[in-house]
Amino acid sequence: MTRDNAQRAMAALRAEIERHDELYYQRQAPVISDYDYDQLVKRLQALEAAFPELVTLDSPTQRIGGRPSDGFKPAAHRIPMMSLDNVYSSEELREWEARCRRLYNGAFDYVAELKIDGLSLSLRYADGLLTEAVTRGDGTTGDVVTENARTIRQIPLRLANPLAADMEARGEVYLPLSAFQRLNAALEAEGEKAFVNPRNAAAGTMKLLDARIVASRRLAMFCYELFADGAKPFETHWETLAWLRQAGFPVNPHARRCATLEEVLAYCADMERQRATRDYDTDGVVVKINQARAQQELGATAKAPRWAVAYKFAPMQARTRLRGVTWQVGRLGALTPVAELEPVFIAGTTVARASLHNEDQIQRLDARLGDLVIVEKSGDIIPQVVGVVVAERAGTEAPIVVPALCPGCPDRQVRLVRPEGEVAWRCPETRCPTKLRQRLQHFAARTAMDIEGLGEAAVDKLVREGLIADCADLYALTAEQVAALERLGDKSAQNLLAQIERSKTAGLERLLFALGIPDVGRRKAQLLAQHFGSLAALAAASEADLVAVRDIGPVTARRIREWLADDLNQRTLARLESAGVVTRLERPGSGTAARLTGKQFVLTGTLPTLTREEATARIEAAGGRVTSGVSKKTDYVVAGESPGSKLAKAEALGVAILDESGLLALLAEADGGAPPA
Ligand SMILES: [Zn+2]
């Protein structure tokens, strides 16, 4: 690829990545999967590796973190990062207001903002470029975590119009609840310890030395404070928020300017009611006096400013009766106890089930059937039983007994086992139908082989009819078999088969994750795929070979080896291979059709040089498809002169829009021109 072509391709990729960042973070409306996003970044990285002189400081790849840092250096805050005083009731908030009025005679109003439950971060810009990010630390000195902060895609790496040579923005870094759940699921799948709550996860992530892992966890941020040359640049806090927003900083959209304390109180009540509907944890409302002048006069105590206060929400807990415990069987056979509760209303939803995690947790809580228990909810995370009200016991409560036989194996008597050192009981039966159903659902999941239409109901039917005993059986299904399934019409049967067919090209990384090998989550699947390059090479690997892979320890290596050595698994792998499932890593540039495979394009308007037929032919030659209507599944709309309503629709749906040169850049890059990664 020529330097010019590379530059164009890189510009197109950067624009596309930034567009997806915006859709993901500003509009919360992503149009591509995380996996596809990562592929875009990888393509850009590959190009940048080949043309290092074309790397720009504000390239999205600079957020990924090149190499692990060697620990964190401390840095002093020029202006201390103070904490806030808390109030817990409207009376206390009124007292705070009265104190402010006593100490300051002028007029003022308020800005009320959600208090995000995360960790505070200071971002420093020199001549508009992000140069340093520092954690709050003890308020005087924090850790320099610039590499990690760069991975937060919402944070501008460069300011278009800085107010001063020295700018500082402050805000709260948090982990969205959806990302928190994904992270914990992945950690658990890899046999690692899950985080207790999103705040711990965010704090733990910010302290990681490998920025690449930080990047994968998708931290987010809301900014709420600004200094220019060490001083507040605006007369009001409201103007500060407006400037931050237009400068590209993430600002929470729920901030409100309130003329009176009554308005503030109404806002607090609204926010507390809506608390459970957000994708991030909030633990209260920060109420600030809007006018900088009043703030200055009110000043601060040794610990906190007098002009701001945190109104704390009540904890999202409730008491209810524990009626029973259901033991759920996971895809690796682990049993999870789920508390069946007398339904109780907590923060906007009725809770009837809650997690009890494992047998040890039940013992720690000393929970018994019939107990009055404390249930806690954190956003939309699965509610948990966090305590027992022992004082309320009647004496008739019964102990919770772990079943001796697998509840997921109804036709056989299968004794559960608890391997030494593990917290969970497991079903050891390879033919356990519940494990099979869970494995198949995992195999078909969006992050695995991505077989749309193979959800819980379809899997249940296929397993019940005896059509499927492992994932390889999916590829042997016939149209008649699928159509004969109860209440599955011809059309959805065909769709399902088409989706199964399409999944053959999902690629080695996804396949290794989808197989459900113990300890192999998405990240390890990726590492294994890149290290071995093919399923055959992995299957032939010894324990020593596996340990040589970065981040694979001896325990994981043994588990992988055991899984691969299993007769049934070997047969499954052989059948997947002969069914035509892609089991080799497709390296960038190794095939022309690989790059845009499955991507859907829509053409609209007249392109400057290409006819519609030519454009279609070139897209198809690169593996893409051209369709007529714009939908959520459309990957790119190529717009020329006088585009029709398709362009408006694409904009409304947030579909990536290319002009002819953008298309040509994408095609040039897909045309095997990219260097191997
Ligand atoms: Zn079982």
- The model's pLDDT over 65-92, given as tens digits with 9 standing for 90+, comes to 333 334 688 889 999 998 888 888 899 9
Ligand 1 centroid to residue 403 C-alpha, Å: 12
Averaged pLDDT for residues 5-33: 75
Distance of CA 570 from the midpoint of ligand 1 (Å): 21
CA 440 to CA 470: how far, in whole Å?
7
In angstroms, what is the span from residue 437 Cα to ligand 1's centroid? 11
Cα(406) to ligand 1 centroid in Å equals 5
Q: pLDDT tens digits, residue range 287-330? A: 999 999 999 999 998 778 999 999 988 767 889 999 999 999 98
- H helix intervals, 22-104: 34-50, 90-103
Output the pLDDT for position 592.
41
Q: How confident is the model at residue 422 (pLDDT cuts 50, 70, 90)?
A: confident
Fold of 317-399: OB fold (Dihydrolipoamide Acetyltransferase, E2P) (2.40.50)
Distance, first Cα to last Cα, the chain: 15
**Mean pLDDT value across the chain:** 86
* 3-state SS, residue 131: strand
- Domain spans in the chain, listed from the N-terminal domain onward: 3-63, 79-312, 317-399, 433-505, 508-578, 600-673
DSSP for 542-593, please give it: -HHHHHTSTT--HHHHHHHHHHHH-HHHHHHHHHHHHTT---B---TTS-TT
Whether the pLDDT of residue 107 is over 80: the answer is: yes
98 Cα: distance to centroid of ligand 1 (angstroms): 64
CA of 332 to the centre of ligand 1 (A): 10
Alpha-carbon Rg for the chain in angstroms: 28
Q: Tokens for 213?
A: 């892992």
- In what helix (H) or strand (E) does residue 372 lie, and over which residues does it extend? strand 372-376
Q: How far is the CA of 416 from the centre of ligand 1 (A)?
A: 8
Topology adopted by domain 3-63: Helix Hairpins (1.10.287)
Residues lining ion ligand 1 (Cβ < 5 A) are 406, 408-409, 414, 427, 429, 432
115 given a catalytic annotation = yes
pLDDT tens-digit map of 116-143: 988 999 999 999 999 999 999 888 888 8
Q: How far is the CA of 334 from the centre of ligand 1 (A)?
A: 9
Q: How far apart are CA 493 and CA 405, in angstroms?
A: 36
- Mean pLDDT, rounded, for 450-460: 87
Q: Which of 42, 115, 524, 646 is the catalytic position?
A: 115
**Using 50, 70 and 90 to split pLDDT, how confident is the model at 521?**
confident
Q: Which CA distances in Å does 96 have to 93, 225, 296, 566?
A: 5, 21, 16, 68
Q: Do domains 3-63 and 79-312 have the same CATH topology?
A: no
Q: Tell me, what's the pLDDT at 198? A: 83
Q: In what order do the strands lie in the sheet with 110-116?
A: 86-87, 308-312, 282-289, 110-116, 256-258
pLDDT tens digits, 643-655: 878 888 888 787 8
CATH number of 79-312: 3.30.470.30
Q: Which of 446, 412, 410, 409 is nearest to 333 (CA)?
A: 409
Residue 638 near residue 659 (C-beta atoms within 8 A): yes
CA distances from 253 to 224, 425, 607, 611 (A): 11, 45, 39, 44
Q: Are 472 and 443 in contact (CB under 8 A)?
A: no
pLDDT band at 589 (very low <50, low <70, confident <90, very high): very low
Strand partners, 338: 326, 355
Q: Which residues lie below 8 Å from residue 35, measured CB to CB, with a gap of 6+? A: 447, 510
Helices (H), 260-340: 261-274, 292-298
* 654 vs 4, higher pLDDT: 4
Closest CA to 86 of 78, 73, 98, 95: 95
Higher pLDDT, 472 or 464: 472
Give me ligand 1 centre to Cα 434, in Å: 6
Q: pTM for the full model?
A: 0.48
Higher pLDDT, 675 or 618: 618
How many angstroms is it from 430 CA to the middle of ligand 1? 8
- The pLDDT score that the predictor gives to residue 595 is 65
CATH architecture of the domain covering 600-673: 3-Layer(aba) Sandwich (3.40)
User: CA-to-CA distance for 605 and 638, rounded, in angstroms?
Assistant: 8
Report the 10 Å Cβ neighbour count for 67: 10
Which of these CATH numbers, 1.10.150.20, 3.30.420.40, 3.90.76.10, 3.40.50.300, describes 508-578? 1.10.150.20
> Cα separation of 499 and 449, whole Å?
10
CA 489 to centroid of ligand 1, rounded, Å: 31
372 within 8 A of 321, measured Cβ to Cβ: yes
Pairing outcome for strands 636-639 and 600-604 = parallel
| 433 CA from centroid of ligand 1 (Å) | 7
pLDDT range class, residue 587, cuts 50, 70, 90: low
- The class level of CATH for 433-505 reads mainly alpha
Calculate how far, in angstroms, residue 515's C-alpha sits from the geometric centre of ligand 1. Answer: 19
Task: Return phi, psi of residue 515, to 5°.
Answer: -65, -20
Query: Taking the CB of residue 676, how many other CB atoms lie within 10 A of it?
Result: 10
